[in-house]
Amino acid sequence: MRPLIAGNWKMNGVGESLAEICAVAQWIAETGPNADIFIFPPFTLVARAVVAASNRIGIGGQDCHALPSGAFTGDVSAEMLADAGATAVIVGHSERRQSCRLTDAMVAARTTAARRAGLLAIVCIGETAEQHDGGLAQNVVIAQLEGSIPPDANSTTTVVAYEPIWAIGTGRTPSLEEISRMHSCIRAQLEGRFGEDGSRLRILYGGSVNTTNAATILAAPNVDGALVGGASLRAGEFAEIVGTSTGSSSLRSPFAL
Ligand code: PEP
């Protein structure tokens, strides 16, 4: 499966940060990594990021409303993102689930909105530290998967990102065995629900991926890419992670520190 590496900039980046996108785009042009690459800047940068990406990197929004338009101050619709040139959107990120009190049903509605607007939806799921420590991770993730992915999803419109909340931005990651176990559990659920297409639906791992751990994590079974937060902000680190995902040691970022 062609890996997908996505960089989530969260609430980081102003106009001058577009130089990082230009640098990654140039690196892609020179090395041609065998991976789908996306960057999710804040809404304010989406249209300019599309220009900076020169069709080499997909640009997406970090969330979208379920409706195309209306009286929802501060929200942005999937159609608006598409109009700005975006080709993807993250839905159900744990930080949005928390700050917007998103239920699984609301995440599913946003996933449907993404499809309606022709955007690839990256649907995030993952357990809290308490759920993890209490041995509930698989049950929580199965329920989120069931509730957040609409029945008409398929492998060309939807990607799942497993992001244990306790691993996001903390420098902590699950053991490789835990990642493999969870990803094979997610794969089994997807195949049970979507049949053969469920085996093609990409499952990303997210949570403190960096240049040191990316190779090991990305080589694990049923890990089809990564959702990268902090380490996606600098072109050098991000390109190095992308290079790792292709399994080719000759693909090294010229910007690597
Ligand atoms: C994220 O924002 O989805 C994420 C995984 O962040 P980080 O890589 O910084 O843990």
Which residue puts its alpha carbon closest to atom 1 of ligand 1? 229
Residue 178 falls inside a structural domain: yes
User: What distance in angstroms lies between residue 125's CA and the mean position of ligand 1's atoms?
Assistant: 13
Total of domains in the chain: 1
Please determine, for residue 155, whether its predicted confidence score (pLDDT) is greater than 50.
Answer: yes
- Burial code of 148-158, b = ≥16 C-beta within 10 A, e = fewer? bbbeebebebb
Q: Stretch 109-130: mean pLDDT, rounded?
A: 98
Question: Would you say residue 160 lies in a domain?
Answer: yes
Q: Which atom of ligand 1 is nearest to the CA of 170?
A: 10
Q: Is residue 254 part of a domain?
A: no
Choosing from 209, 210, 238 the residue with most ligand 1 atoms within 8 A of its CB, the one to mutate for a pocket test is 209
Asked if residue 257 is part of any domain, the answer here is: no
Residue 249 confidence (pLDDT) above 90: no
Judge if the beta carbon of residue 230 lies within 6 A of ligand 1: yes
- CB of 208 shorter than 6 A to ligand 1: yes
Distance from Cα 171 to the centre of ligand 1, integer Å: 9
CB 228 within 8 A of CB 7: yes
| Domain assignment present for 51 | yes
Ligand 1 within 6 A of CB of 233: no
* Nearest residue by C-alpha to atom 8 in ligand 1: 229
- Burial group, residue 212, by CB count within 10 angstroms (0-12, 13-18, 19+): exposed
Instruction: Determine the distance separating the centroid of ligand 1 and the alpha carbon of 123, expressed in angstroms.
Output: 14
Asked if 127 and 140 count as a contact pair (C-beta separation under 8 A), the reply is yes
Domain that holds residue 168: 4-246
Residues 6+ apart with CB under 8 A from 217: 173, 176, 179, 205, 209, 223, 226
Amino acid at 162: Y
The band of 30, judged by pLDDT with boundaries at 50, 70 and 90, is very high
User: What average pLDDT does range 122-127 have in this prediction?
Assistant: 98
Residue 255 in any domain: the answer is: no
pLDDT at residue number 245: 83
How many other C-beta atoms lie within 10 A of the C-beta of residue 221? 11
Confidence of residue 246 (pLDDT cuts 50, 70, 90): confident
Give the whole-angstrom CA distance, residue 3 versus residue 5.
7
Report the nearest atom of ligand 1 relative to the CA of 94: 3
> For the chain, where are the E strands, in sequence order?
4-8, 36-40, 58-61, 88-91, 120-125, 158-162, 203-206, 225-228
Residue 227, ligand 1, Cβ within 6 A: yes
* Reported pTM: 0.95
Catalytic residues: 93, 163
Q: Is the CB of 95 under 6 A from ligand 1?
A: no
Indicate the burial class of 128 (C-beta count within 10 angstroms; 0-12, 13-18, 19 or more): middle
Report how far ligand 1's centroid is from the alpha carbon of 225 (Å).
13
Any domain includes 107: yes
CA angle, 120 then 34 then 253, to 5°? 110
Q: Do 86 and 60 contact (CB within 8 A), yes or no?
A: yes
Q: How far is CA 71 from the centre of its chain?
A: 28
> Does 18 have pLDDT greater than 80?
yes
The CATH number assigned to the domain holding 212 equals 3.20.20.70
Atom of ligand 1 lying closest to residue 168 CA: 10
> Which phi-psi region, left, alpha or beta, contains residue 91 (left: φ > 0; alpha: ψ -120 to 50)?
beta
